[in-house]
Chains A and B, each alone.
Chain A
């Protein structure tokens, strides 16, 4: 018995050591291990199980703490029934089971081996398992990543090629076929097909660049034209790379191609726009400065602005408006921006501006606030209106002067009318007044044509004797130097000539077929030059002196004298009338005419 007992004892001890050994092993493995005992109801249906043993890894794989002694439903109250059913089957049948199964209640995915401990009909099951949730998730996301890339390629309409030099296989995605104007599946994906769709003009360049890229680490980037759908010319951007093996032999070329036609069009539009507006900016005859609305400092200024102010471009950049003499001070500068923020545009008229050299200018400023990309800027257009202001002043002065002259002229007409009214019948009055007004107007015409500066004497004579213009040079002879009369002298002499002409036509040398009038004038030399003009009639009817002195005589006498502060003489000799007017040349001729050698 003792021997038997000892043997048994030894065996037990042996078993115990073995148990210890396995237990040690189970305790330290990576996987989770547990021994469970099924719990049945009265009808013999498995309804739960209890953890009898669990290794260290158990908690890590399940998230269940201090499981031993607890039932499954105590540890995980929501545990799915299929777990209990599965383990009960293993216990009853004694057939081991491997499975991969997820638990929503535990939010985990397990790979699991279940073994019945005491063979069929037992109620104990050993479980060895791993939580593979993360691993599966990683695998899943890898698959998803590939899917995403494919979607991205399609969404970006990226054409992809992958050409293996070892197998000769060239793989294209559908987008590649379509980009090249080919229906997927109807053409062979090959280098030859690809090259056949490159624009002939770009073919040499594409070919040489692609060849150059076929070396270890070779890359390839080029924009060129291809024939797309319906052979439409499209711009594409191709980026490619090569792979090579350990010996440095190129074994693969792969890359993507995108259609950049629209982008190039936009680029081109941008370039056109940039060139156009840059030219506007550079050539404008308005000063233009761009300010940063945040800092109020100048970012850019056009060449005209630098000319206007006398600062160099670099000196303007970084300054505020008040620092270049445009606004009074910082406060005014800030006020401008406040106002711009509410109105977007301000116009300042008549802003005084001082250039660097202290030159005062009148300017008009139009400031605009707008977004330039992601920053708010203010564009100020500065127009130099100094000249416009001067012109405005000049015009208003001129208007006043014209008003004055018009009034004066009307007063002259009034005086003439009043005097003419004293001569004869209303019919005579009307005719004479008209003639005299016409004579006055002829002189005005010449003055206006010469900007009221003076009238050339020969022009004045021609205008006043317009009625006899066909005789000028024959029956009316002019003889004298170039002489420009002052407006006053022109009016006085003009009216006198008109009266003399009228008389000559009525009673004198121009009243018959043979008479002649000689008008001669001269200017003496010396420190005080004298001007004289003479009207001499010959060959007309015998002259009879007038019986009474009318207004006509006042015009050729007193009026002519007064206009030049000189003396007039008239002689009614039988042979013909003669009239002469003498005055200091300074009273008759314009300064420019006097200064003439």
Chain B
């Protein structure tokens, strides 16, 4: 078991559905995380991955009809851990999303927190 990090970890939310993004945000805030940003479209996501200070990301695979594949690639090269959150089961997801832990919508908020703690580094890099 990993221990809960002492510093507040900053999470980047990449999710096109405003209501879901809001739900994730509320869940994370309630659990002591900080929100690094919310990106609803691919260009915003790429910009934020590049410029935001964040410790981990939650990535939807489809952003308003556009594949979030480039965001996954950018996240991989950034070295930051991330979670795939999608309505599609892992078996139906394109190759580019493989490798990252996956959580299928809808999911219990606790499960998201648990996964985040598993992937997060103990201290901020």
Contacts and interface: CB of A to CB of B under 8 A. Distances in A.
A410 B106 contact: yes
A407 B104 contact: yes
A559 B16 CA distance: 11
Interface string B16-42: 111111111011000000000010110
Contacts of A405: 87
Contacts of A403: 87-89
Interface residues of B, number: 26
B64 interface: yes
Chain B, interface SS category? mixed
A406 interface: yes
B4 interface: no
A319 interface: no
B106 A407 contact: yes
Contact of B23 (A407, A414, A491, A563): A414
A390 interface: no
B5 interface: no
A407 B105 contact: yes
Nearest to A412: B19
A400 B92 contact: yes
Interface in A392-444: 400, 403-408, 410-416, 418-419
B22 A559 contact: yes
Given A415-B20, A488-B64, A404 B109 contact: no
Given A412-B17, A562-B40, A404 B62 contact: yes
Contacts of A412: 17, 19-20, 23
Contacts of B105: 407-408, 410-411
Contacts of A491: 19
A419 B18 contact: no
Given A406-B87, A411-B23, A562 B18 contact: yes
Given A407-B104, A408-B105, A418-B27, A559 B18 contact: yes
Given A400-B88, A403-B87, A488-B64, A408 B22 contact: no
Chain A, interface SS category? helix
A583 to B, nearest CB: 13
B20 A411 contact: yes
A415 B23 CA distance: 5
Interface string A481-518: 00000001001100100000000000000000000000
A147 to B, nearest CB: 90
A554 interface: yes
A418 B20 contact: no
A563 B109 CA distance: 22
Interface string B76-95: 00000000001111001000
Contacts of A563: 18
Interface in A526-581: 554, 558-559, 562-563, 565
Contact of B20 (A404, A408, A492, A558): A408
B19 A415 contact: yes
A498 to B, nearest CB: 13
- A406, A412, A413 pick with most chain B CB within 10 angstroms: A412
- A407, A416, A419 pick with most chain B CB within 10 angstroms: A407
A404 B62 CA distance: 10
B32 to A, nearest CB: 17
Nearest to A560: B18
B27 A411 contact: no
Nearest to A410: B106
Contacts of B107: 411
A414 B20 CA distance: 8
A411 B18 contact: no
Nearest to B104: A407
Interface in B7-66: 16-24, 26-27, 38, 40-41, 62, 64
B68 to A, nearest CB: 13
6 contacts: A400-B92, A406-B87, A408-B17, A412-B20, A415-B22, A558-B18
Top 5 nearest A-B pairs by Cβ distance? A415-B23, A407-B87, A562-B18, A404-B87, A411-B106
Given A411-B106, A415-B26, 8 more contacts: A400-B88, A407-B106, A415-B22, A488-B17, A492-B18, A495-B19, A563-B18, A565-B41
